[in-house]
Copies of this chain bind each other. A is one copy, B any other.
Amino acid sequence: MGRGKIEIKKIENTTNRQVTFSKRRSGLFKKAKEISILCAADVGVIVFNSTGRLFDFASSSMKRLLERYRNASGGRAWNNEYEQMLSQFRNLKKENEELQKELSCVTGEDVGTLAPNQLDFLEGNLVLAAKKARERKIEVLKYERRKTESKVIGLQQKCSILREWLSNPEIPEEYDLDNSGGQTPPPPGFRRQPNQPNLQGGG
């Protein structure tokens, strides 16, 4: 319907395609609006152009229309994602309940429903778990002790270095060792390299 008849196939010229899209889109939406009014219909139109931009029209509310569509189509053409999520949701919920139950059993909160042999098994597991926790605790404590020890050794070394340094007569005057406020002097071995005797060699 225009000056010349056109074949219904993709318009290759980009600008031409965009112009036609714009015109026909408004035409489509107009028709949708008309049928909705004339025939008391609920109409929704969704269009993505070739560049992926979205245009839509809804005679009432797209949200309500789509909800209605989901009910009416009965999953036929409905969103797989939705259905999948629904089943996953149910699974998760079930799993969650089981976990919670298991957890309450395992902490001894809800042991009322268990049979003696189950209780026996549970007790064994708990004792084992407690043992594991204890072992791990000891391991960690040992590790921390080693760390502390090596720290102490390091401090002792520094201390002996400091002592040696103090017994050294070459104390520069600008360092006031009794100064408790203000800036502390830089620790020996880090800042006094320029005028310090070689401690490593000096023993």
Contacts and interface: CB of A to CB of B under 8 A. Distances in A.
A181 interface: no
A57 to B, nearest CB: 9
B116 A123 contact: no
Interface in A62-82: 62-63, 65-70, 72-73, 77-82
Contacts of A73: 54, 56, 62
Interface stretch (A41-49, A146-154, A183-191, A194-202): A41-49
Contacts of A119: 133-134, 136-137, 140
A104 B93 CA distance: 19
B38 A47 contact: no
A90 to B, nearest CB: 10
Contacts of A166: none
Interface in A113-159: 114-116, 119-120, 122-123, 125-134, 136-137, 140-141, 144
A35 interface: yes
B108 A130 contact: yes
A43 B46 contact: yes
Contacts of A137: 116, 119-120, 123
Interface of A: 6, 8-11, 17-18, 20-21, 24-25, 27-28, 31-32, 34-35, 37-50, 54, 56, 58, 61-63, 65-70, 72-73, 77-82, 85-86, 88-89, 92-93, 95-96, 99-100, 102-103, 106-108, 111-112, 114-116, 119-120, 122-123, 125-134, 136-137, 140-141, 144
